A and B are shown apart, each in its own frame.
Chain A
Amino acid sequence: MIDFWIILTASLVATSTAILGCFLIMRKMAMIGDAISHAVLPGIVIAYLLTDSRASFPMLVGAAASGMLVTYIIQFFNQKVKLQQDASIGISYTFLFAVGIILISVFSNDVDLDQECVLYGEIAYVPLDKSFIGDLYIGPRQVWILGTTLLLIATSVWLGYRKLVVTTFDPSFAAALGINVVFWQYYLMAGVSLATVVSFESVGAVLVIAFLSGPAATAFLITRDFKRMIFFAIALGISASIIGYYTAFWLQGSIAGAIATIIGLQFALVFAYTQLLRKSRIAKVLDNKALT
């Protein structure tokens, strides 16, 4: 049963991040996702210190606040003082992440978060944190939180799908149609912050990037159809979760780390295959030319 709950948790994380990841990588915003996932840390710690609990709602508020802060700092450096984009991202998130780690060290006695957990999560402990309705055991708490998040993200993407797609692929056309491009960008960012925060406990800050960018990138290599790309990404994410779990079991290592490794291998396989395909196609074209 423990196997099942852990794989289910990982699959829930993989599904919500795969959906958002497809939009992120098409918008060339993968690194903004990276920045947000690191930068939510101080928000989470402060929320924890203020409310003295691991309740999800205050943490969510804290994380959203520091997620907003990092996008603001990036914009400040990039637009107000004209620092190049990559450096603006780099400065902002490392700063907030460092502050988060310092807060954890200062209040190490009061905070039930340790430094390693921040980076790669504690998915193995998920089944231990149980929830009940009355006396009835209804599964781990994380599964319920992640399930609700997935439902929320899937519904909001489904509702805003057309506008999200238009603003992603052709923002100037979208603007000409009278669609508020900035609003839909923040709509997506809000989704990313939400997914990052709830995935934080199970997979940590760095590995959630693997979930966001990996399956989406692999799916992008497979298909040109955006809807199909989303479904492929979800399938890849879930299969990586299952294979990753057993790999971790075999190697006696971190589950989240193993899933990230499998995501990388999936990409490597598909990438190698597309390269071979391309080469054989080029060879075929050259052969035909030689004949004529």
Chain B
Amino acid sequence: MEFFTEIASFFTFSEPNVKVVFWGSLILCAISGLVGTFTLLRKRALIGDVISHSVLPGIALAFIIGQQKNPLYLIIGAAISGWISTYLVDYITKHSKIKNDTAIALILSVFFGAGVLLLTHIQHSGNAAQSGLDQFIFGRASAMNMNDVWLFTIVGSIITLLIVVFFRGLSLLSFDESYSQSIGFPNEILKLILSITTVITVAMGVQAVGVVLMSALLITPAACAKFWTNNIIHLAILAVILSGLAGVLGSAISYTYNGMPTGPWIVVVISVFAFISAFIGSKNGLAKKVLQRNQNNKKILRENTIKLFYNPDEGETLSYPFDTVFQKSNMHRNTLKKGLNMLKSEGLLKVTNGAYKPTELGVKESKAIVRKHRLWELYISRFMHLQPDHVHDDAEGIEHVITPEIERELEKELDFPTRDPHDSEIPY
């Protein structure tokens, strides 16, 4: 019961601090979802990882220079060292034989190590203002205040505005960099906009979720959204919504249980979203894929079965007992039975005394599939100059995916043929 009252007290903002945590996490996560969409699409997800580990020395140095925990100074320090780190990764990859992933691992860990060295140095220096500086490692949303939220709102609006204004250019850059270059888009400026927004987002975000897990906020929301849509606008919007939701839920959980870190909970919530999306997502989700494969297999089985009943002689339709059909096919016995039952229930076959006879509709279907098969055989033998005995296997696969439009094209291309390469008739 206590749990519910705590949760209720979070969402009703009964304590003034809760309001700060709520809006702070919401805004931060939403922005990182938006920025992360582009980092993900540009296949630079791990660059977010580098930046988030690398802001630490910047924060520590900003503190050593300023001798106080002014959030603006710290963010500027963080942004500068984050930016240097991405520059170094690109520079090393471009100018030496070191591979990109090695450069990422190296810069990430060395910057982090330097940050740890400076941070522990500050802790031993005895400056009282330093307490709480180590929160940047794991993040503590509850340590935010109203000034931070205003800062997030202003910076976040600027970032959103930039992305909306340059949306076309940024999308093109993310999908096809060289094309964007070739039609004269200012690629370098667009890249600069993206890297600056990423760096600033990370620099702000480390306060709430900490350096190690900040990269998750850039990567996971967009990856999550990718399981639901392929449209970049929908992708960005969905990433923002999911990320914001995870931010709010995560900070609610960490508020409810005392002493729980915020960052890890936000990451766990958004990761759970990602796992769920991976299973049931309507695009690329696992369930969708399995369903699609099953449907395909069914279609192929259905078409392969009805094909067995193709009879070139017009006039009377014959009926075949199961064993005759089975010998003609090269399917497994049970598979064939399944196919036959499917056709029976669809009204393409009639069964009398254990013998199968195609109905009028069945005859039409069997002609249609054989026709596609033979048209394709003719097409590849004529245009790819394959020997007639080499074309059957290819046509076996293609016949199931030829649409009526392609069929018409083939007919036109082949000048309405009547005979296939084996000199059999092409039915119509």
Q: Which residues of A contact B (CB under 8 A)?
A: 25, 28-31, 33-34, 38, 76-77, 80-84, 86-87, 89-91, 94-95, 97-99, 101-102, 105-106, 108, 115-116, 119-120, 206-207, 209-210, 212-214, 216-217, 220-221, 247-248, 251-254, 256-261, 263-264, 267, 271, 274-275
Contacts and interface: CB of A to CB of B under 8 A. Distances in A.
Contacts of A86: 43-46, 219
Given A81-B227, A86-B46, A253-B121, A98 B220 contact: no
B386 to A, nearest CB: 29
Nearest to A213: B105
Given A31-B104, A82-B284, A256-B116, A98 B109 contact: no
B97 interface: yes
A275 B95 contact: yes
Contacts of A83: 223, 226, 278, 284
Interface stretch (B199-207, B264-272, B327-335): B264-272
B145 to A, nearest CB: 23
A77 B138 CA distance: 26
Interface residues of B, number: 66
Interface string B199-240: 000000000000011011011101100110000000000000
A247 B113 CA distance: 13
A281 B146 CA distance: 58
Nearest to B121: A253
Interface in B76-112: 92, 95-99, 101-106, 108-112
Contact of A260 (B109, B124, B261): B109
Contacts of B222: 87
Interface of B: 40, 43-46, 48-49, 53, 92, 95-99, 101-106, 108-121, 124-125, 134, 137-138, 212-213, 215-216, 218-220, 222-223, 226-227, 259-261, 263-265, 267-268, 271, 274, 278, 281, 284-286, 289
B223 to A, nearest CB: 5
B144 to A, nearest CB: 19
Contact of B116 (A31, A87, A254, A267): A254
Contacts of B103: 217
Given A86-B43, A94-B215, A258 B117 contact: yes
